Every structure is written in structure tokens, then in C-alpha cells.
Structure 1
Amino acid sequence: MKISAIIAEYNPMHKGHILHINKTRELTNCDGIIGVISGNFVQRGQPSIIDKWTRAELAVLNGIDLVIELPSVYSISSAEFFSYGAISLLNNINVVDSLCFGSECGNLEPIYYIANTLQNPSYEYLDLLRKYIASGLPYFTARSKALFEISQNNIDINLTNSLESILSSSNNILGIEYCKSLIKLNSSIKAFTIKRQGDDYNCQYINSEFPSATAIRKLIENDYDLNSIKNLLPDSVYEKIISLYKNNYDFAFSKDMFKFLRYKCLTNNNNIDKIPDANEGLHNKIYKSIINSTDFEDLMSNIKSKRYSYTRLSRILCQYFIGFDNYDTEILRKASCPYARILAFNKKGLEILKLIKKNSYIPLYSKLPKSKDMNSCLELDILSTKAYSILNKSINPLADYLNSPVIL
């Protein structure tokens, strides 16, 4: 069986995702697709608007055959660790032939070239990087200039007009990190990319038939008339969202974390510095700001700067809210993914599961085991669901023990 994989969040699923799934089948000529999705908190450092089991169900209803959860220690991390966690998971289950990801440039060649240069840097590249950093340039600017100069000496590739846009676009950056991880792991998984269609990943408004998930979340958060986006969502997703509304489902948003963050910060001796990315005195800035902030957006505007991006700060706060401060996440996220958590599957997905059980290097879980010697990554997943249940009261705090995979 020829199996392809997609790494996604589906927060929520929209028609751009359906296009991606269909193109993946077309490009890779696969027999089945595995979707690796973030759990109840996502890479931007936000709670998922809808819980992971419902999102997994919708993914299977719309073309994915088997959904596996990306552990929280990776899913709420930078692009580098998010990608490494997902690729190492796919590599470890040992049945995946290809990976297809969306990118703004839609061309694998420059993405793979940049990934290889960064993962296996030449002396020439490192010398150029050091030179530009020594001149006072910020790291990412220095990196871009070094990459550009190196590419000028390569007759097989020309990045003259595309390097800056490639390195400044969200999906391109993730694509580079996916390819870096494939190279790092010496993986046999073959990479494919398709050009992202429609609105930009970060766009907060609907400007095309393929709106961003960001814009859709904004409409739901603001209780906008969802009839206006009915034609922009897959039917099953629209119907599920309407059904959840009618049943008073507790959609989760970042703003809901604020009072809990404030309480934890003020009663735990300002221990935010235990979060790996909250270094260089950033924890003090967060602590001072949280005292004087009235809500989540107020807090973010008080601490955001050119040095600290909104997404990086969101991840720090999200990790702190969940309880990452009690774990050595620096070590955990650098290690290969230690298990595969099954969230949903269909008949084809069951066939894939049987293959995984025969070939996988890591254990598969449906419900989580009740063990005193539980893996720290699993403990963090359980903590994540408990934390999520505070924001989304529709979810049982012990759902990881109680919920079986969705079978369609």
C-alpha cells in the first residue's frame, strides 16, 4: 500500500484543506493518507477552537484515512521543533512513502535547497553567516544574506528574486523545516509541495473562496452570522459548527486563558523563566505586564516588540498555562517522537493501522494507559487536555483516558 502524509491543524478545516488532500492523492498517487494534527493546543500558541477528537472526525469525513495526534511538546513549539516532532513521528511508524505540504512558493527545489544548506552548512556558508552577524545584522537577516550569496555560486538554482519571500512566508518556513528534518533523520519519505491557494495564512479577513483558518476563527469568536461563510466550508464542517453552536459547545480562544495565567503567574513567584523560550529577562517583562493588563490582548500588546513576536509570546504563555514549567521540555522536544496516538480512522485507515502495528518502531495508543511510569510527553498531553477543559467546558478533563478513536 502506498501511503502519503499531511501535517496540519485543521483549526478548523476549510476548503483549502480539501484542495490540499485532493492534490496530495493526485501528486503522490497514494492509496491512503495519514493526517498528523496538533492536539488541543496549536503551534501558534493558542487553544484549538474545537477539540482534537471533533477535528479528527471532520478530517476523516473529508478525505484523511487515519488521524494521529502530534504530542503537545512539539505542537506548541517553534517551526523547527513542530516539524521535527511530526516528521520523526511519521518516520517512526515506518509505513509512510511521501509527505505533501502546502507552501506559498509551490516549488520544492528552492525549499529543499535552503533546507539542505541549513541542515548541512558548508564552511563557506558558515563564514558568510559569521561575517554578517559580526557586522551587526540580526541573525535571520544575516542568514538570508548568506543564503543569497551562496546561491549565487550555484548554477543549478537561482534564488535572486525569491529568497526573501520564501524566508518570510509561514508555510514556506514550515516546508523548509519539514525538509530539514527529513534530511536530519535520513528519511526515505519523499517530499512534495503544492502552492497554497487563497488568503494568506495570517489573514484575518475573507477575501477569496479559500479563506484562512484565522479569518474563520475570528468570525466564530465574534459570533458573526455563519451563513455568510457556508459556501466557504466543507458541508460537514459547516454542519458540525452549527450543531455545536446549537448544543452550546464551548469554543475555546486565547482570551479565555488570561485570568488563569494571571493567577498562576502571581501565585508562583514569577517562575515563567522555567519555560525554555522565556529567557533573557523576558519572564520579568511578562510578570510586570500581567499585573497591569486587563485582558489577554492588553497583555500581548504590552509585551510584544520587534524582538519578541506575537506567536513566540503566545507559545510561552500557552506552555505556562498548561504546565510545561514542570518539565524539561528543552530535552523532550529534541528527542524523536516516542509514540503514536490514534484519534480517528475509516476502513482504509484501519488497513493502514494494521500495517503500522507490523512495522512501527514506537507504540500506538488509542486510549492512554494508566501507568505510574508514563512517558513525560504523554503526561504533557494529559495536562494539555486538562488545561483545555478549563477553557472548553464541553470536554472532560480526563477525556484522554475516556475517549476512544472516532471510527467512520
Structure 2
Amino acid sequence: MKAVGVIVEYNPLHNGHVYHLTEARRLSGADVVVAVMSGPFLQRGEPAIVGKRVRTEMALHAGADLVVELPVAYAVQPAEWFAFGAVSLLHRTGAVDSLCFGSESGDLDSLQRIARVLAVEPAGLREDIARRLREGASYPAAYAGAAAALAPGGVDADDAAALLGQPNNSLGLHYLIALERLGSAIKPFTAARTGAAYHEATPGPGAIASATAVRRLLLADGPEAAAPYVPAATLAILRREWQEGRAPVHWERFAQPLLHIAATRRASELEQIAEVTEGLEHRLSRTLAQLPEPSVEALLNALKTKRYTRTKLQRMLTHILLNHTKAECSPEKLAEGPAYLRVLGFNAQGQSLLKHMKKTASLPVLLKPSTFVHNQLELDVQAQAAYALACKHIDTRMMYSDYYEPPVRL
């Protein structure tokens, strides 16, 4: 049984994601698709618009066979560690043969050549990144520029800079770097992105819109507004979640607890939190007293600069909300890799692969988190509890669904 891995967030799952799943099977020739999916909080530092079990349902209806959770310690991280965590999980299953990611370019060869150079972290890379940061570049731009400057023979530096300046290409590069660093035998494929661009805020004329555009439609007008851009199963699930009061979840639902924490922590305490860097604890404290209104959006707008992107600040606020310390999220800790394979859902094909994985996996395969103790898992449980408190209808079972609810089965 050949298995292909995909790394996803599905916030929410839309028609472009169905295309990616179809292409993953076609390009790899796989029988089974394994999706590594972020939990309640995502790589760009945002809460998911619907919960992880809901997005697991969407994934299984759309063609995934097995869904595994990316621990929150990796899910809310810059691309390097997000990619490393997700690829590590696929590698440690011992059963995944290939990885298929989306890219703007579809140029796997150029990305692989750059990845081989960067996997060993050439001398001068970090110094060049630091120089570009001092000059006012954001971290993604600084990394892309420094990486392009080290482009290997056959890849023009200007072409490399243009290539890495696109978000899916950049994330794909980090997947390839992770495969190199792990010495993994997993074979990579890339599906060229079609339709809307990653950050495109409004839908185009076709049936594929970006997740950003779909979320805007959902937040403004509810599920029916997104109907042309999502599969029928996704639309039915979204209708149910809106009707039951479990959606939509967005940053403003967390405004009160987040602002409470930020206002009652000393700068010395905030400084211990992940992503609170370069004096941001002082900037945060000063900014709170000057907000035009007590909202997360107002806080982000006030904190944002050319150097501190919205994504960087959102990740910082998520770590503050969840009390993720620098010690827990240090490079040394993250380099150890995820400690378990947490199963969120599966179908019959996925169940067959699970049986095989119990023999091949080099990590514990968790269907019942209550049977396992680890700091990464504690952070996952806490993240789910915090997320559930942002829903209109709160109950303890939903807060601690990691303990109460079995994996989703389709």
C-alpha cells in the first residue's frame, strides 16, 4: 500500500484543496493519503475558523484517508519549524512513501537544488539574515534574500529570489530542507497552484478561491456565501457548525482573555514567552494604553511595522494566549521532533494503514491521548481548551474533547 503525505490546515477546506488531494494521488501513484493537519491554532498565528475535528471531517470527505495532528508546538511556528515538525511526523510513520506540496512555480528541481545547499546551513546564512533584518526587512523577506544569494550553480540568484518570494514556494523549500536534514527516503512531488493566489482576498471568476477569500465570505455572510468555492460536504459541515453556534471562531473571540493576560503580566514575564523578541514586551505594554478600542485587530494594527509582520505578531499573541515559553519552543527543543503521532480521523483505507503503522512507526500512535504523557501533548490539550472557550456555546466536553472524543471515522 503506497501512501502519500500532505501537510495542511484546511481553514476551511475548499475546492483548491480537493485539486491538491487529487494531484497528490495522481503524481505519486499512491493508494492512501495521509494528511498532517494543524490543530486549533495555525501557522500564521490565527485561530482556525472551525475546530480540528470539524476540519478532519472535511478532509476525510474530500479524499484524505488518515489525518494526524501537528502538535501546536510546531503548528504555530515560522516556516522552518512548522515544516520540520510536519515532515518529521510523515517520516516517523515509516509508512509514507512520498510528499506532495503545492507551489506557485511547480519547479521542484530548482527548489531541491536550493534545499540541498541550505540543509547544511552554509556559513554566513544567519549573518546575512541578521543584516537584512537590521536593514528593516521582515524575517520571510530576509530569509528569502539570504537563501537566494546562496543559490547553487544553475539557479540564477535573481530567479531564486523571485521563486522564494512566493509563499507556497518558500514553504515547499522548507519541506525539502526538512527531508534532507532527516535523511528521509520520502520522495517529494509538487502540484502547481491553480486559480487564486495564496493571499488573494476576493474570489475570482472560477470555482477556486483562496482560503483567505473564503474566510472573508464566511465571516461577512455565513456559509451560503462560500458555497461556490467549497465542496458540498464542506458546505454541509459549515452550515451545521454555524447552526450549532460552534463557528465562526476568530481573533476577536479571544480579545478579553488575551488583553487581560497582556495587561496583567510584567514585561519581564512577557519576555519569557515565545516570539516575544527584541523588546516587543515593552512595545506591547506601551501600545495597550494607547489603543483606540480594546480589540485584537486594533492591537495588531498598532504593533505592526515593516519589520514586524502581522503573521509574526499573531504568532506572538497566540503564544501569549497559550503561555508558550521560549524554553518550551526553543530551537533545541523543536529539533527533537514531535513525540507522538496523534490520530484525528480515518476511513477504512486509513484504518488499514494504521494497522501497518503500528509495526513501522518509530513514534507512539495515539488514538486515546489519555494513555500518553508528554509536554507537547499537554500543550495540545491546553490549546484545545482555550479554543473551545471562544465558541458561543461552551461546555466542558468540548474543551476537553481530546480526552472525551475518539478519532473521527468516515
TM-score by length of 2: 0.91
The answer to whether the 8 A contact 2:18-2:63 is kept is yes
The alignment status of 1:384 with 2:386, answered yes or no, reads no
C-alpha distance 308-126 of structure 1, shift in aligned 2 (>3 A): closer
Tell me which residue corresponds to 2:271.
Answer: 273
What's the RMSD between the two structures over aligned residues? Answer: 2.5
Question: Measured at CA, do residues 146 and 213 of structure 1 come closer, stay the same or move farther in structure 2, by a change above 3 Å?
Answer: closer
5 Å-filtered alignment, 1:214-225, equals 214-222=212-220, 224=221
Contact 2:35 2:66 in 1 (8 A): yes
Contact 2:217–2:225 under 8 Å retained in 1: no
1:3 corresponds to which residue? 3
2:258 — aligned with what?
A: 261
Match of 2:189 in 1: 192
Q: Is the 8 A contact 2:129 2:146 kept in 1?
A: no
SS in 2 for 1:237: helix
Q: Which residue of 2 aligns with 1:365?
A: 366
Q: 1:394 to 1:211 in 2, by over 3 A?
A: farther
CA distance 1:261–1:354, change in 2 (3 Å):
same
Tell me, in whole angstroms, the C-alpha distance in 1 between the residues paired with 2:135 and 2:310: 24
2:66 — aligned with what? 66
1:402 aligns with 2:401: no
Identity of aligned residues (%): 31
Residue of structure 1 in register with 2:200 after alignment: 203
Aligned counterpart, 2:245? 248
Provide Cα deviations, 1:33-82, integer angstroms capped at 9, x if missing partner.
10000001111111111110111011011100000000000001110110
Change over 3 Å in CA distance of 1:127–1:342 after alignment to 2: closer
Give distance in 2, aligned partners of 1:20 and 1:323.
Answer: 35
Q: Which residue of 2 aligns with 1:163?
A: 160
Q: Tell me which amino acid in the other structure corresponds to 1:354.
A: K
Structure 1 residues 244, 112: closer, same or farther in 2, change over 3 A?
same
What 5-or-longer segments of structure 2 have no aligned partner?
Answer: none
Aligned length: 401
Q: Larger deviation: 128-137 or 113-122?
A: 128-137
User: Conserved in 2, the CA contact under 8 Å of 1:38 and 1:71?
Assistant: yes
Identify the residue that residue 86 of structure 1 maps to in structure 2. 86
Residues 361-398 of structure 1, C-alpha deviation per residue, up to 9 Å, x if partnerless? Answer: 11011121266xx2110010011011101112456211
The 3 A distance-change label for structure 1 pair 323 and 128 is closer
Give 1:296-375 correspondences, 5 Å limit.
296-325=296-325, 328-330=328-330, 331-369=332-370, 374-375=373-374
Shift in alpha-carbon separation, 1:265–1:164, aligned structure 2, 3 A: same
The whole-number CA distance in structure 1 between the counterparts of 2:134 and 2:241 is 55
Q: Compute the displacement of 1:312 (Å).
A: 0.5
Corresponding residue number in structure 2 for 1:282: 280
Shift of 1:23: 0.5
Q: Give 1:258 shift.
A: 1.7
Per the TM alignment, residue 126 of structure 1 is displaced from its structure 2 partner at its CA by: 5.7
Question: Counterpart of 1:87 in 2: which secondary structure?
Answer: helix
Q: C-alpha distance in 1, partners of 2:210/2:55?
A: 16
In structure 2, what is the equivalent of residue 110 of structure 1? Answer: 110
Secondary structure class of the residue paired with 2:271: helix
Q: CA contact under 8 A between 1:262 and 1:291: conserved in structure 2?
A: no
SS in 2 for 1:80: helix
Contact 1:323–1:383 (CA under 8 A) maintained in structure 2:
no
- The alpha-carbon distance between structure 1 residues 322 and 355, as it changes in their structure 2 partners (threshold 3 A), is same
